[in-house]
Amino acid sequence: MDVRAKLRETFGFEAFRPGQEAIVEAVLEGRDLLAVMPTGAGKSLCYQLPATLLPGLTLVVSPLIALMKDQVDALREHGIAAALINSSQSAGEQRETLERVRAGEVKLLYVAPERFGAAGFLERIQGVPLSLMAIDEAHCISQWGHQFRPDYTRLGEVRELLAPERLAGFTATATQEVRDDIARELRLRDPMIEVHGFDRPELFFGAEQLAGKKLKAARVLHHLGALREQHGEDASAIVYCGTRKDTEALTELLRGKGVPAIAYHAGLGDEERAQAQDAFMSGETPVVVATNAFGMGVDKADIRLVLHHDLPGSVEAYYQEAGRAGRDGEPAKAILLWGLGDLRLRRFFIEKGTPSPADLDRVWERLSTGGRPGQVRAGTTRELAERAGVEAGVVPVILRLLEKAGHLRPEEAEEDEEGRLRLRLLDTAPRSGLRVDREGLLLFRQLEEARLERMVTYAGRALCRRRALLDYFGDRDGPAPGELCGSCDACEAALARGGATLELSEASYERVRAALALVDSTDFPFGRRKLAAALAGEDAPGLERTSLVRHPAAGSFACLGGGALAAAEQVLDRCVGAALLSVHHDPYPVITITARGRAVLAGAAEVPGEIAALADEDQVTAALDEARARERAARAAAPRRRKKKGAPSPESFGPVDEALFERLRELRSRLASEQGVPPYVIFHDKHLAAIAALQPRSEEALLGVPGMGPKKLEKYGAALLELLRDG
């Protein structure tokens, strides 16, 4: 039967959603498959429809008992023979369902992953012809996800035992690490990877780089003002902040300006949180200022604006939050306000979420002390974290490592939404006897840092943001490379400059080739940071000692000035996206050249124009100019702070070049460690800010900067002037 007819007749849908048909066809064809689609895009149909067409049983592994039941009920309504087995059923019920399965009376059987550990289940199901094994929420297999479920890691073994004709994994999590984990752990064979449904053409994406909270507050007011002007006073908006404190401060500020707003964060009581959510959902309070605790289960279709007041920790976190705008399909905006200063907060969060060896010891001590092998320990993730004295966020990673090393085994859990755990101790080894791979802890942190870096690259991007987001997720649908999508700030600006297409200099193509040549030149692979710094002619920790700095490509991006480093990073990223370069975890992410990349170097293939544009002088300059103009506008609109008399604040000298400020801080750290003194002894931040604003080019001009006397000039003047000249 034709799949479209089946879609209509059995499921009652008029048409496939983006990607569904391709995935259904692929499953029917019989290849292993990994399908990545956002939540709500319709993944279930992609295994349910083939299940009705395939001759044998489809076994669906799904993590949440409540969701399973809903799906089975819905399938039965459509007249499809679906069933589930779980631990809340009586032994009699379970036996009866299994009998029906063995008699071939069931098309889809839903089970939780823990089921495969239950006595006798695997044996009973082994003889049943299995057409398809579908793993829903497949990211639960990855320890990099926050929804890690240890039982998922046994599915690879189960697959070997049951030998389904094909296996398909489904997830909304599209990061490369998670995808690799899924493919490896499920032992997928030459899998087809289908990524669809990430494009949101109704959303306008923008980002503004701003230094400091005052400027950000001004832009928040500006965007909310524009929203209310365009869509009326009831228009819904979410403003996401990085900290609880900022949600409250910003809420107060907005209220003071007559914008009805309410704060939401995990530090509020249950009742206050429920009230805030109700007020927003009902439309009574149109603006919610929230931390990322807000959003789970927020299903408000008419949100017209999602503003980020701070840099999120990863592109996937950003896209999920931004994607809450425009669910009704009407135009909406997602604007990111950010500054390099946000990185400090993000790094702090990474630190907090990364287990240290001491955390590992504490958790194990808590679990094993007074226990004996074979004993089961029960509780929630949060309780375990509290008793062990560690952050709740680090517990799943630690448990995964303990499980991998064979110290414990998780038992089937009834209720999972709370993170309830039942852990069986396999031994009670002392700390020193733990067989855990402690390197794994380090790798976790490296990956989080790499994700943050990708987020910064997105934020600072000068070309189509929609394309960037889709490339990040590996979704090939959406605007073509180089096309001006018209629904992001970068394309809007390019259109305003009069270009329907981009005219690029020959040198920009040359620069991309230089980047490829640099990667190709070494026997030993390097990470993105060192490669980009070498291309930009800037410093990075340890770079001086590498062969990169002597390569002819070193410094080839330097003429792009303040935009050089960001341009080099973006070129490397896009080359990875276009499979000219690839990333390996070794165990840290390093970049190597691909056969396609070599073909470009050999002149057998072209440098894609979209990548060359990232290294084009005019494009980079225009983007920098726009960022500066935006910052000036924001500064003019910023709420004024009363100034103390005496020392002039750097603001009075004009806009601070943040990149330069950061480089000045790096220089200060270097000088400080050379001289063995704390950095503030050399210069205060406010003095560096003044230097970054005034950008003095001579000793005389330097002397005019606050905080600079003849002594300091003598000691540090040369180093400062050198940096100012080259930066």
Which residues bind to Mg ion, rule: CB under 5 A?
A: 43
- Judged by beta carbon, residue 43 or residue 528, the one nearer Mg ion is 43
* Positions 247 through 306 that interact with ligand ADP (CB under 6 A): none
> Is 414 in a helix, a strand, or coil?
coil
- Of 36, 77, 19, 30, which is closest to residue 182 (Cα–Cα)? 36
CB of 136 to Mg ion, least distance (A): 6
Place of tokens 């009075």: 652
Contacts of 82 (CB under 8 A, 6+ apart): 71, 72, 75, 76, 106, 107, 108, 109, 110
Burial class for 615, CB neighbours closer than 10 Å (0-12, 13-18, 19+)? buried
CB of 577 to ligand ADP, least distance (A): 24
CB of 140 to ligand ADP, least distance (A): 14
* Positions 153 through 192 that interact with ligand ADP (CB under 6 A): none
The residue from 27, 36, 41, 112 that contacts ligand ADP (CB under 6 A) is 41
> Is 293 in a helix, a strand, or coil?
coil
CB of 38 to ligand ADP, least distance (A): 7
Vertex 47 angle, CA 30 and 190, to 5°: 35
The residue from 3, 22, 28, 44 that contacts ligand ADP (CB under 6 A) is 44
Query: Under a CB-based contact definition with an 8 Å cutoff, are residues 203 and 332 in contact?
Result: yes
CB of 223 to ligand ADP, least distance (A): 30
> Is 33 in a helix, a strand, or coil?
strand
Q: Which helix (H) or strand (E) holds 135?
A: strand 130-135
Is-cis flag, bond preceding 587, omega within 30?
yes
If binding is defined by CB under 6 A, does position 329 make contact with ligand ADP? no
Cα 29 from chain centroid (whole Å): 32
Which of ligand ADP, Mg ion, none interacts with 13 (beta carbon under 5 to 8 A by kind)?
ligand ADP
Length of the chain counted residue by residue: 727
Tokens encoding 516: 């490829």
Which of Mg ion, ligand ADP, none interacts with 98 (beta carbon under 5 to 8 A by kind)?
none
User: Which of 41-49, 209-217, 418-426, 663-671 is the region at the interface with ligand ADP (rule: CB under 6 A)?
Assistant: 41-49
Which of ligand ADP, Mg ion, none interacts with 173 (beta carbon under 5 to 8 A by kind)?
none
Which of Mg ion, ligand ADP, none interacts with 570 (beta carbon under 5 to 8 A by kind)?
none
> Is 306 in a helix, a strand, or coil?
strand
If binding is defined by CB under 6 A, does position 64 make contact with ligand ADP? no
Burial class for 422, CB neighbours closer than 10 Å (0-12, 13-18, 19+)? middle
- Of 487, 482, 484, 494, which is closest to residue 613 (Cα–Cα)? 482
If binding is defined by CB under 6 A, does position 320 make contact with ligand ADP? no
Question: Using CA atoms, how far apart are residues 458 and 464, in angstroms rounded to an integer?
Answer: 10
Question: Using CA atoms, how far apart are residues 269 and 721, in angstroms rounded to an integer?
Answer: 53
Instruction: For the chain, give the longest Cα–Cα distance.
Output: 93
Cα 313 from chain centroid (whole Å): 6
Which of ligand ADP, Mg ion, none interacts with 262 (beta carbon under 5 to 8 A by kind)?
none
Contacts of 376 (CB under 8 A, 6+ apart): 411, 422, 423, 424, 425
One DSSP character per residue, 254-265 reads HHHTT--EEEE-
Count of residues engaged in binding ligand ADP, rule: CB under 6 A: 12
Which of Mg ion, ligand ADP, none interacts with 41 (beta carbon under 5 to 8 A by kind)?
ligand ADP
Which of Mg ion, ligand ADP, none interacts with 268 (beta carbon under 5 to 8 A by kind)?
none
Q: How many CB atoms lie within 10 A of CB 525?
A: 16
Q: How many CB atoms lie within 10 A of CB 363?
A: 24
- Judged by beta carbon, residue 37 or residue 397, the one nearer Mg ion is 37
> Is 70 in a helix, a strand, or coil?
helix
The residue from 23, 24, 37, 565 that contacts ligand ADP (CB under 6 A) is 37
Which of Mg ion, ligand ADP, none interacts with 458 (beta carbon under 5 to 8 A by kind)?
none
- Of 462, 557, 577, which is closest to residue 507 (Cα–Cα)? 557
Which of Mg ion, ligand ADP, none interacts with 16 (beta carbon under 5 to 8 A by kind)?
ligand ADP
The residue from 17, 257, 684, 712 that contacts ligand ADP (CB under 6 A) is 17
The residue from 19, 42, 150, 563 that contacts ligand ADP (CB under 6 A) is 42
- Judged by beta carbon, residue 74 or residue 713, the one nearer Mg ion is 74
One DSSP character per residue, 520-568 reads HT-SS-B-HHHHHHHHHT---TTGGGSGGGGSTTTTTTGGGGGGHHHHH
The residue from 4, 13, 405, 561 that contacts ligand ADP (CB under 6 A) is 13
If binding is defined by CB under 6 A, does position 16 make contact with ligand ADP? yes
Amino acid code (one letter) for 180: D
Amino acid code (one letter) for 651: E
> Is 376 in a helix, a strand, or coil?
strand
Instruction: Please identify the residue of the shown chain whose CB is closest to the bound ligand ADP.
Output: 42
The residue from 8, 30, 40, 710 that contacts ligand ADP (CB under 6 A) is 40
CB of 60 to Mg ion, least distance (A): 11
If binding is defined by CB under 6 A, does position 675 make contact with ligand ADP? no
- Judged by beta carbon, residue 43 or residue 663, the one nearer Mg ion is 43
Which of ligand ADP, Mg ion, none interacts with 112 (beta carbon under 5 to 8 A by kind)?
none
Amino acid code (one letter) for 87: S
CB of 15 to ligand ADP, least distance (A): 6
Query: What DSSP character marks residue 562?
Result: G
The residue from 8, 29, 30, 39 that contacts ligand ADP (CB under 6 A) is 39
The residue from 19, 32, 36, 43 that contacts ligand ADP (CB under 6 A) is 43
Question: Using CA atoms, how far apart are residues 229 and 190, in angstroms rounded to an integer?
Answer: 53
Question: Using CA atoms, how far apart are residues 394 and 409, in angstroms rounded to an integer?
Answer: 18
User: Which of 36-44, 54-62, 605-613, 643-651 is the region at the interface with ligand ADP (rule: CB under 6 A)?
Assistant: 36-44
User: Which of 11-19, 200-208, 382-390, 440-448 is the region at the interface with ligand ADP (rule: CB under 6 A)?
Assistant: 11-19
Which of ligand ADP, Mg ion, none interacts with 309 (beta carbon under 5 to 8 A by kind)?
none
- Judged by beta carbon, residue 17 or residue 585, the one nearer ligand ADP is 17
Instruction: Please identify the residue of the shown chain whose CB is closest to the bound Mg ion.
Output: 43
CB of 433 to Mg ion, least distance (A): 41
- Judged by beta carbon, residue 41 or residue 220, the one nearer ligand ADP is 41
CB of 132 to ligand ADP, least distance (A): 16
Vertex 139 angle, CA 180 and 293, to 5°: 125
The residue from 45, 249, 543, 703 that contacts ligand ADP (CB under 6 A) is 45
Binding site for ligand ADP (CB under 6 A): 13, 16-17, 20, 37, 39-45
